[in-house]
Amino acid sequence: MPFIPQSSLVSLQRDLTDVYGFQYWWPADSPQEVMEGAILAQNTSWKNVEKAIARLKGKKASDILSCQDLGEKIRSAGFYRQKERFLKGVLNYYVSKIENLSLPIDTRWELLELDGVGRETADSIALYAFHQHTIPVDSYTIRLLNRYFGTSYSGRDYEEIRGKLIGIFNQEQLMELHGLIDEHCKMFCKKVPKCESCPIRKKCRMNI
DNA sequence: CACCAGGCCCTAT
DNA sequence: ATAGGGCATGGT
């Protein structure tokens, strides 16, 4: 596995910022809504998630928990039977541990205990809802790193990649970086990449 | 029509 | 430890 120097990652972050500007990227009005979105967005296009989010908009967590047709409300986000269960677990955690009390110290570990919350979901919530020093390593991140730097990371290298990134960037930069990467991958570094028009192709190892 | 999207869980090697 | 299948909708 080729070693990615810290300076290269910093440089990539700069280049992406030059192209896309600042991204207040997670579109949510509250920590609760970040949590809802993090569950609903699992392996699902954000477009489909938005409709589900809209139906939960403004509701208190306790009201969503007692809602009788929650599955129907989030149906558009897909996997809705699982996600109804997962969402209830997360909101229940929110109500019991966060809403009434002060912010817990290590949300990431507590979230990982919940059914339906894996590393990426936990890190998304910890970063965007509670501004902790972490970053989700999603498939976009792995894809971009592999193409741009010629590495061959896979999901099993999650902790290594996360560790590298949080060792380099501060919390605000991590929020920014994840948004930039996902924005870029949605537009250019797709599964079938659009290298012809890619704004950062010059330094990319693919360089098609 | 096939394939994909801001994963996770469970199971069989 | 790791790969593979299931989960489900809506857009291209």
Write the DSSP symbol of residue A102: P
Between CA A153 and C1' C3 the distance (Å) reads 15
Average pLDDT, chain A: 94
Alpha helix ranges (H) inside A41-128? 46-56, 61-65, 70-73, 80-93, 107-112, 119-128
**Rounded-to-integer distance, Cα A63 and Cα A22, Å:** 35
Q: What pLDDT, in 10s, does the model give residues A43-62?
A: 999 999 999 999 999 999 99
Q: What confidence score (pLDDT) does residue A98 get?
A: 84
The protein footprint on chain B, as nucleotides within 7 A of a CB, is 4-10
pLDDT computed for residue A208 by the predictor = 65
State which residue has its Cα closest to the C1' atom of C9.
Answer: A78
Which chain A residues 51-70 have CB under 7 A to strand C? Answer: 51
pTM of the shown model: 0.96
Residue A101 has pLDDT above 90, yes or no: no
Distance CA A11, CA A71 (A): 44
Asked if A44 CB < 7 A from strand C, the reply is: yes
Strands (E), A115-208: none
Domains of chain A: 6-24+135-203 (1.10.1670.10), 31-128 (1.10.340.30)
What Å value separates CA A58 and C1' C3? 41
Please, is A41 exposed, middle or buried when counting C-beta atoms within 10 Å of its C-beta (0-12, 13-18, 19+)?
A: buried
Average pLDDT for A180-188: 96
Q: Å between A45 CA and B4 C1'?
A: 9
The rounded distance, in Å, linking the Cα atoms of A21 and A84 is 35
**Calpha distance A127→A113 (Å, rounded):** 17
Percent of chain A with pLDDT over 70: 98
Mean pLDDT of the region A178-195: 96
Distance A125 CA to B6 C1' (A): 12
